[in-house]
Structure 1
Amino acid sequence: MTEILTDRSGLLPSGPPSEVVVARDVDHVRETLRRAHRDRIPVVTRGAGSGLAGGAVADAGAIVLDVSALDRILSIDPVDGVAHVEPGVITADLDRAARARGLFYAPDPGSVELSTIGGNIATNAGGLRGAKYGVTRDAVLALDVVLADGSLVRVGRPTIKGVTGYDIASLIVGSEGTLGVVVGATLRLLPAPPETATAAAFFPSLDRAAEAVAAIAVSGARPAVLEIVDAATLAAIDEAEGTRLRERGEAFLLAQTDGFGAERELAVVREAIAPLAADLEWTSDPERAEGLIAARRRALPAIERRGRVLIEDIAVPRSRLADAVRGIQRIAAETGTEIFVFGHAGDGNLHPNILTGGAPGDPISPAAEEAAERIFALALSLGGTLTAEHGIGRLKRSWVAREVGDEVHALQRRIKDLLDPHGILNPGAAL
């Protein structure tokens, strides 16, 4: 039961839910919401529970609505380049099914092997390929949504173009289950790239790696993947995997280009970063490339072996990435905390991971809380955001108005009140 009461953030609920509903079909979801709406019972929807911001943690007395069993890929159309899926489909399973048809699903979160499409939609998840292909919102064409009163609506359309009326589908994406429950999605698929080319570079400092990201940005190349990893994270990976990455530099940058000109484009990337790198290797062999990418994917599990981490999720303009890196290093030194930094450098998205030293459910140490608060302030001071892809959940609510402003915050609340007049949908999250 414990695993269905929390998510990967480790935040524990204030008490047990009133019930757990495992939805077996759309009518089951509708019936649950009609009853909750009538009786004013809070409802927290969840899928795989891979969220990192406490967005799927129900307070005492709420209904936990588990939609992970709605896990069918209903259709894949290679001509239109769309997939129709239920919310419980695992992200990697959709990508594998699409590739069997010569297509692929672009959003690629770090939790790709366990996160669900519904959860990705709830948080507008991004991932490693976000630098070129964007985030989940860029892949969503239409949604089937059960509203708070149990009514079922379809928003969006199955065509790539369409501007009739307000874009309600985009509003639902990233709303963290506070405006409705997604029970179906029409998603955009793209032709699978015929070629990829991958480079791994090590740098004498994290600051130098951030400068390399800026150099790539003005080179004319547009890598599909551009990831950054700091020295502390490299050491954690070495400890967990028996590798020797840390010996090669203070920072690691992974770049992957794709398409018919992948090797030519990677040559532009290499030329841009070579003057800054201490060590540089590249390959067009997919198997070898996967080995290079694996180092980045192992980052979070390796850090979590050292204890509970507060996983943050800021983004800044790429031009301020070096300033963000320097600021995080200064915050770590001044608060006496261990902060591990990796992220999607191609779109300015950094994940500072603060080691709290406790177990899941333990209070976060004052030093870790201070470090997190200062990181948020740093992101906003650089023109950035509190969260790029993990969502606000319950852990960052106090900062929302500071980013969006009081007037916009009030507007968001009015939208919430219109679609959920009794406030039953994931109360305490997002806003």
Structure 2
Amino acid sequence: MTIDRFIRALKHRLPESRLTTDPVRCFALGTDASFYRLTPQLVVAVETEAELSFLLIQAQLCQVPVTFRAAGTSLSGQAVTDSVLVVLTDQWRGCRIDPLGERVHLQPDLIGADVNHRLKPFGRKIGPDPASISSCKMGGIVANNASGMCCGTRHNSYHTLAGMRVVLADGSIVDSRDPLSIAEFRSSHGCFLDKLSQLSADLKANTALTERVRHKYRLKNTTGYGLNALLDFDDPIDILTHLMVGSEGTLGFISEVSLNTVPDWPHRASIMIGFDDLHLCAQAVTSLRSCPVDAVELLDRRAIESVAHMPGLPDFARQLPPEGGMLLVDVRSEVADALSGHCDQVMAALERFPQGWRSTGFTRDSMQIAQYWNLRKGTFPAVGAMRATGTTAIIEDVAFPVERLAEGVAALQALFDRHGYTEAIIFGHALEGNLHFVFTQGFEELSEIARYDAFMQDIAEVVTGVLGGSLKAEHGTGRNMAPFVAKEWGEDAYGLMKRIKQVFDPAGILNPGVILNDDPKAHIQHLKALPAADPIVDTCIECGFCEPVCPSRDLTLTPRQRITLYRELQRQSRNEGVNPLWQQAFNYQGIDTCAATGLCELRCPVGINTGELVLTLRQRNNHRYDRLARFMGRHFATLATLTRGALWTAQGLQRLAGAQRLERYSLSMRRLSGGRTPLWPAATPGSARPVHAPTRLTRPTDLDTVVYWAACVTQAMGPALGDGRQPIPAAALSVLRKAGLAVVVPQPTRGLCCGQPFHSKGHVEVAEQQRRELVDELWEVSSGGRFPVLSDTSPCSLRVRAQAEERGIQFYDSVDFIDRFLLDRLVIQPEAGRVAVHTTCSVQKQGIEASFQRVLNAVTPHWVQPEGMACCGFAGDKGFTQPELNASSLRHLAGSVGDCLYGISTSRTCEIGLSQHSGLTYFSLFEVLDRQSDHTQ
């Protein structure tokens, strides 16, 4: 087979660890956000441009199709294949910013939001702003010509392109920013460039087609290849690079791109405007085009209903008639005074319509603006979350001439009713005539597939034939619209596109079936099944938004891939029976190496915590240990004492053998045992003395009193060998005394636990009992909630917080306690040097990041937080039992914090792994505050 020959050729150049043929891994890695399912035979992780060039040469020789994948957030089937899938290692994340920030040079594996974060100090951002910008990567953004809510057509990838480095199908490389590279390419590929020039000349000679192309690109349009490149440029190098924009991996690989950035104005105001009639709404959009607005978003009545449960929706929106709609307008400016003028112009434009509308008025309040835009962003998730199990949420993307926007909305609503999509909603970027519509669709029955096919045929006819619009405005052509490209563009333009494909990829090996596909039924083939698996995850739409924050994403599976595999296992169990090799692989990749921190929930548009599913599965797998767990829970104080004894013994062995040597011994033992024994890192702490809780009489009238609950982990784990730390409770008590606070400690300290160790192993009942006992004790010792309660460990705070607050307890993590009660009571000498910071998952999930930043700004103002490390992966005891998870998550940490004095975190176990993999010592927030503060003011 050609694929076997191809694999043999790659093994001569690439390590086998980067060639995946295992069917379980290929199934998981082959998933993207679209509603298509193709499983690659081979997944190749390429690390360098030279490797990619070699791969493409071999693919040509072996006639093996190749598909490139960035983040896999594309919606139209651009990034799935049943042949070879090429993914990128994290060596493709280079970023260079010109001195003034007006141009940025990017490799394809960088996430778009991370680029904007780096540009923020310059007051700049990239032009494209897709809704998936926090997850999608630059390779996909450019290859799909992404735009978004604010960028329109003038700031999309095509119009902000400043240069590009491309690897073509024959393995050759050209860099349009390098004169030497251009000269070499002209010499070696003169015939190639001549053909591009001829294509340009042929189009310009066809007056009717030229006018059609220019008309089509006055709208947002990503259907087919960018024929405007043949008109906009004369130099074939420029034509080449601009044809690559929006080519969806069918013409070559973009290994680096340079984009002109746009201003990111700091002053902002938003307004919501309701209209009784969509025609009036569309007329208002036309009027607003002449105003200095940044974005105008439209929601039809059904879209408004889908987010009626969310905060921020004005009352008048709930009272709009069925034919009504709403606009969300955003205005930005470099200076505050100019913003007022912009708002006045918008209101003047609206006042031309004497009746039939009402508004909230402009607000500059950031919280209110966030609520407005969360409503807009919540429309797609709202439909996705409410869909029936087994169906998928499909989001499509069309554009109309703005003057025909109301007709377009009415036509779409009529098609929804005709084909039975009564749940469908419409929203979109009205300023550009760009509308998205979302509906739910099942593909289990032939009748459902036929319904979808008939609907798409009607959509194509109405959008392109009747209203002169675009079938794809910003989501890319993909597989879903490939059969309709000829219908939209006409045979002359379609023939030109085929010639473009032939010039770039004569063998047809690059992403075949995408953009151009002569099969009229290609859009209803290889449809993805979403079988019921578990109510916790059944609403997953496999968008991939969760992936950037998952610590196991480069080791085993992401949350999306865990759900994908679990769904397949459930399908197998109902049909042919579960393949034992698949189940074995899932046990390790899906369950054992999941940190179960739940950060994925914060990124998920439908609020799924994949960790909850994993904990449920652990509960099933570990039920045979329930009796032991109950015994340990009943005797937790004894267990804590034994833990301290074990840590004391281990540190004694470290003193005798050396901490590094003991780590190597434990690693060797782990290898010999097949991973059954734990790793003992050199940064493992020694034992700590438990907090002594003297009897103290308190009265409800006492002032300046705090209840300090020291978590069991801080009472068990003291300093590591030679790290210069002090026990966290000692530091906390010292700071509280400096602040002049009286401290009350719960009784008995050693037997209280939030239950997290049991919960993470799936022993839910024991964990819940532990938590109840703790909350009861905190209620008593806080005098029925009279005194605030301080927790010194963020994961434990997260575990207890909601239940404590339900009981009326004033409960605080160390982060928000310091922010609220201590900063004003202490004289702080800020740390002068750079300090590394890790914001734990539990701080993020408690929503106290702003408090954390205020504390850091006061104590260590020169703090830095490395990108791409949302979770450290230590996950309680995973750093001991699955150390590869911690190592994978933090593999770049040392290189990111090399110039820092030390680190800060708020979880004692996380600090072990952070210290281990950074070369620094990570301290608790209380330890640093104790060192940098002097006395009560």
Matched residues in 1 for 2:137 and 2:46: separation?
Answer: 15
Tell me the CA shift for residue 25 of structure 1.
2.2
1:223 to 287, 290, 293: 293
State how 1:29-428 maps to structure 2 within 5 Å. Answer: 29-58=52-81, 60=82, 62-67=83-88, 69-79=90-100, 81-131=102-152, 133-155=154-176, 164-165=235-236, 166-217=238-289, 220-239=290-309, 241=310, 244=313, 247=318, 249=320, 250-260=324-334, 261-274=338-351, 275=353, 276-307=356-387, 308-338=392-422, 339-357=424-442, 364-380=448-464, 381-428=466-513
Q: Alignment partner of 1:113: what SS?
A: coil
Q: Alignment partner of 1:252: what SS?
A: strand
Match in the other structure for 2:668:
none
Worse-superposed segment, 389-398 or 67-76: 67-76
Matched residues in 2 for 1:10 and 1:230: separation?
Answer: 25
Q: Alignment partner of 1:313: what SS?
A: strand
Say if 1:132 and 1:225, in contact at 8 Å, map to a contact too: no
Match in the other structure for 2:47:
24
Tell me the CA shift for residue 163 of structure 1.
6.5
Q: Alignment partner of 1:131: what SS?
A: coil
Say if 1:78 and 1:101, in contact at 8 Å, map to a contact too: no
- CA separation of 1:283 and 1:181: change in aligned 2, threshold 3 A: same
Deviations 1:109-163 (A, max 9, x none): 01111111111111111101123743221222111111111111113679xx997
* Alignment partner of 1:11 is 2:32: no
Unaligned runs of at least 5 residues, structure 2: 1-24, 180-231, 517-937
Which one has a bigger Cα radius of gyration? 2
- CA separation of 1:398 and 1:203: change in aligned 2, threshold 3 A: same
Matched residues in 2 for 1:37 and 1:421: separation?
Answer: 10
Deviations 1:174-229 (A, max 9, x none): 11111001111111112321422221212224343223212212xx2042111111
Q: TM-score, normalised by structure 1?
A: 0.90
Matched residues in 2 for 1:362 and 1:157: separation?
Answer: 54
- CA separation of 1:162 and 1:317: change in aligned 2, threshold 3 A: closer
Tell me the CA shift for residue 364 of structure 1.
5.0
Deviations 1:287-317 (A, max 9, x none): 4323222221222122211232222111111
Matched residues in 1 for 2:177 and 2:493: separation?
Answer: 24
User: Which one-letter code corresponds to 1:48 in the other structure?
Assistant: A
Q: Alignment partner of 1:305: what SS?
A: helix
User: Which one-letter code corresponds to 1:6 in the other structure?
Assistant: T
Q: Alignment partner of 2:257: what SS?
A: strand
Tell me the CA shift for residue 244 of structure 1.
5.0
Say if 2:95 and 2:106, in contact at 8 Å, map to a contact too: yes
Q: Alignment partner of 1:31: what SS?
A: helix
Q: Alignment partner of 2:308: what SS?
A: helix
Tell me the CA shift for residue 70 of structure 1.
4.6
Deviations 1:382-422 (A, max 9, x none): 11111011111111111111111112211211121111111
Matched residues in 2 for 1:41 and 1:385: separation?
Answer: 33
Matched residues in 2 for 1:416 and 1:70: separation?
Answer: 29
Say if 2:383 and 2:439, in contact at 8 Å, map to a contact too: no
User: Which one-letter code corresponds to 1:317 in the other structure?
Assistant: P
Q: TM-score, normalised by structure 2?
A: 0.43
Deviations 1:257-303 (A, max 9, x none): 22242331222222323534233331123443232222212221222
- CA separation of 1:392 and 1:156: change in aligned 2, threshold 3 A: farther
Say if 1:52 and 1:311, in contact at 8 Å, map to a contact too: yes
* Structure with the higher fraction of residues in helix conformation: 2
* Structure with the higher fraction of residues in strand conformation: 1
- CA separation of 1:322 and 1:305: change in aligned 2, threshold 3 A: same
Tell me the CA shift for residue 91 of structure 1.
0.9
Matched residues in 1 for 2:72 and 2:446: separation?
Answer: 19
Tell me the CA shift for residue 243 of structure 1.
6.3
User: Which one-letter code corresponds to 2:416 in the other structure?
Assistant: A
Tell me the CA shift for residue 363 of structure 1.
8.4
Unaligned runs of at least 5 residues, structure 1: none
Matched residues in 2 for 1:222 and 1:52: separation?
Answer: 31
- The count of residues paired between Structure 1 and Structure 2 equals 421
Say if 1:46 and 1:66, in contact at 8 Å, map to a contact too: yes
Q: Percent of aligned pairs with the same residue? A: 29
Worse-superposed segment, 176-185 or 369-378: 369-378
Match in the other structure for 2:205:
none
Say if 1:121 and 1:174, in contact at 8 Å, map to a contact too: yes
Q: Alignment partner of 1:283: what SS?
A: coil
Q: Alignment partner of 2:80: what SS?
A: coil
Match in the other structure for 2:798:
none
Worse-superposed segment, 251-260 or 71-80: 71-80
Worse-superposed segment, 226-235 or 126-135: 126-135
Tell me the CA shift for residue 76 of structure 1.
0.9
Higher RCO (C-alpha 8 Å, min separation 6): 1
Matched residues in 2 for 1:68 and 1:371: separation?
Answer: 40
Q: Alignment partner of 1:84: what SS?
A: strand
- CA separation of 1:309 and 1:86: change in aligned 2, threshold 3 A: same
Say if 1:227 and 1:346, in contact at 8 Å, map to a contact too: yes
Matched residues in 1 for 2:101 and 2:440: separation?
Answer: 46
Match in the other structure for 2:16:
none
- CA separation of 1:22 and 1:377: change in aligned 2, threshold 3 A: same
- CA separation of 1:77 and 1:54: change in aligned 2, threshold 3 A: same
